[in-house]
Amino acid sequence: MTLSSVQHALTHFAAERDWEQFHTPKNLAMALAGESGELLQIFQWLRPEQCVQVMQDDERAVQVREEMADVLAYLLRLADVLGVDLEQALAEKIEKNRRKYPVHLARGKADKYTELGG
């Protein structure tokens, strides 16, 4: 399944329920942040080693998968209402970061490297 086919399924899901009226860019950005917050809460009191094993606990594994699905769902809905091609946006961002964080300078340093990862 491609990202755009999932996106269409979500658009259809919202349209069938007449939920497009709620799916303004502002509301969707809020919903995305809200779901990210729920994901955060799963990990907040866990020690590092518990975080790594989180998927071995059946109940938590379901929660993690559902919260991650919700984040992706709202991100795709927001992309839809704003007309953003998410895959292309990500490909461009990776390219930009490749130039911004050359391997030989960025290796092992998280210090100033706060985007896409370090």
Q: Which of residues 32-91 bind a copy of itself (CB under 8 A)?
A: 32-46, 48, 51-52, 54-55, 64-66, 68-75, 77-79, 82-84, 86-87, 89-91
> CA nearest 91: which of 116, 72, 118?
116
67-97 burial, b at 16+ Cβ within 10 Å, e below that, comes to: beebbbbbbbbbbbeeeeebeeeeeeeeeee
Please report where in the chains the tokens 């809200």 appear, as a residue.
34
Q: Does 115 bind a copy of itself (CB under 8 A)?
A: yes
- Rounded to a whole number of angstroms, the minimum distance from the CB of residue 20 to a copy of itself is 9
* Number of residues located near a copy of itself, criterion CB under 8 A: 82
- Binder among 58, 59, 99, 103 for a copy of itself (CB under 8 A): 103
Which residues are CB-neighbours of 38 under 8 A, at least 6 positions away? 67, 70
Cβ-based neighbours of 67, under 8 Å, separated by 6 or more: 35, 38, 39, 42
List the x/- string, 9-28, binding to a copy of itself by CB under 8 A: xx--xx-xxxx-xxxxxxx-
Of the pair 58, 117, the CB lying nearest a copy of itself is at 117
Closest contact distance (angstroms) between CB of 104 and a copy of itself is 10
